[in-house]
Amino acid sequence: MKQVKDQFNRPLRDIRISLTDQCNFRCSYCMPAEIFGPDYPFLPKEHYLSFSEIIRVVQAVTELGVEKVRLTGGEPLLRKDLPELIHDLYTKTMIKDIALTTNGVLLPKYAKELKDAGLQRVNISMDALDDDIFKRMNGRSVSVKTVLKGIEAAKSAGLDIKINMVVKKGVNDEQILPMAAYFKNEGIPLRFIEFMDVGSTNGWQLSSVVSKQEIVERIDRQFPVKPVDKAYYGEVADRYIYADGSGEFGVISSVTESFCSTCTRARVSADGKLYTCLFATKGHDLKPVLRSSALVEEVKEYIASIWQRRTDRYSDERTEETAKKRPKIEMSYIGG
Ligand code: SAM
Ligand code: SF4
Ligand code: SF4
């Protein structure tokens, strides 16, 4: 198998595919309701890549060394016939690891079907245990109980689960400890994510970020923890285990401790643009090559040529200025 490396010698190892830019939530840090209203120009559905095009992209990247695919959005469970896509990924590509990131609301309906189709892992986003805080953050007054039912459904279906919690200072940082305690007890790994300046609509300021160091210190004071080594090259979260042996949590510290030097991830938007960085301004349209040739080989060469030219290291270079001035794609469009 050909391995493809970029200008800083970083191999392409995993890919995230957004299935829609629409969502049934309006999280303040991702799709603020005042901007993503009824008039927001979401992608027309006819611009989405078809399932067979997605399969060809995945076939191409597996030949370049990719072993993991994560389906995301917007809210990926809003994409019609998702179990069918997962079944095709499982049966028609060499991908070894199929994962999904979701807000969890539709999991009671789909978890078993998704697992039966070949889904292995699910990251469920939940930012608070306190109902008022959670309802405010998700912008649609969805209760904690609704997401807990989604988590329960994923568990019953036999999916591996992680929880994602974006931490915003003064909004939900008081929930760090209750969330840690709850999921420690449940035996489910929690991933804290530093609030990031993705896009240009979420009003990001450095002063709203709770640093990895502060998150770990707060937990360590209550439940002593120990750091553990990365499980593999390019792992994004720094992981910690509880000293009492009751499991682990992780922190994704894109803002305060960037990890661009080991970034192995490509992203594809629902309308088929390939992005080599979460904070990119422009993508590379895959549709012309997907629509002009049925050959996986040509898609593979095109993606390889883009990856080989890649020089991204936005988080290494981030300042308050870049965060405000550089035009960047929105998180709901590219999928995190
Ligand atoms: N709708 C799904 C969900 O929320 O899980 C999938 C898409 S969402 C864009 C993917 C992940 O990005 C979620 O875990 C979400 O919390 C995270 N996210 C969104 N905006 C973010 C931001 N500004 N900073 C850090 N993480 C963010
Ligand atoms: Fe929707 Fe996920 Fe963005 Fe929240 S984080 S608005 S659930 S896409
Ligand atoms: Fe990778 Fe870009 Fe994030 Fe750096 S900022 S880790 S290059 S996605």
Residue-wise pLDDT for 97-146, tens only, equals 999 999 999 999 999 999 999 999 999 999 999 999 999 999 999 999 99
pLDDT of residue 294 exceeding 80:
no
Asked whether 268 and 286 are in contact (CB, 8 A), the reply is yes
pLDDT of residue 319 exceeding 90:
no
Asked whether 60 and 15 are in contact (CB, 8 A), the reply is no
pLDDT score recorded for residue 1: 66
User: If you measure from the C-alpha of residue 334 to the centroid of ligand 1, how many angstroms do you get, rounded to a whole number?
Assistant: 10
Q: Is 30 annotated to bind ligand?
A: yes
pLDDT of residue 276 exceeding 90:
yes
273, two tokens: 């643009």
pLDDT of residue 320 exceeding 90:
no
**Residues within 6 Å of ligand 1 by CB:** 23, 29-30, 72-73, 75, 101-103, 125, 164, 166, 193, 195-196, 198, 202, 331-332, 335-336
Q: Which atom of ligand 2 is nearest to the CA of 166?
A: 5
Say how far apart CA 33 and CA 36 lie, in whole Å: 5
Overall pTM > 0.85 = yes
**Which domains, and CATH codes, for the chain?**
14-163+259-334 (3.20.20.70)
pLDDT score recorded for residue 163: 98
pLDDT score recorded for residue 336: 87
Looking at all shown ligands, the one closest to residue 310's CA atom is 3
Share of the chain above pLDDT 90, in %: 94
pLDDT score recorded for residue 2: 73
Q: Is 56 annotated to bind ligand?
A: no
pLDDT of residue 270 exceeding 90:
yes
pLDDT score recorded for residue 96: 84
pLDDT class of 293 with cuts at 50, 70, 90: confident
220, two tokens: 């360590």
Residue with tokens 């078809």: 50
29, two tokens: 């840090």
pLDDT of residue 324 exceeding 80:
yes
Looking at all shown ligands, the one closest to residue 312's CA atom is 3
pLDDT score recorded for residue 332: 94
Per-residue model confidence as pLDDT tens digits over 223-240:
999 999 999 999 999 999
User: If you measure from the C-alpha of residue 262 to the centroid of ligand 3, how many angstroms do you get, rounded to a whole number?
Assistant: 9
The pLDDT of 310-323, averaged and rounded, is: 91
pLDDT score recorded for residue 48: 98
Per-residue model confidence as pLDDT tens digits over 26-62:
999 999 999 999 999 999 999 999 999 999 999 999 9
Strand order in the sheet with 273-275: 225-228, 238-242, 248-252, 190-194, 160-167, 121-125, 97-102, 68-72, 14-18, 265-268, 273-275, 284-285
Looking at all shown ligands, the one closest to residue 102's CA atom is 1
The pLDDT of 202-227, averaged and rounded, is: 97
Total residue count of the chain as it appears in this document: 336
pLDDT class of 23 with cuts at 50, 70, 90: very high
The pLDDT of 75-80, averaged and rounded, is: 98
Q: Which atom of ligand 2 is nearest to the CA of 36?
A: 6
Single-letter amino acid code for the residue at 109 = K
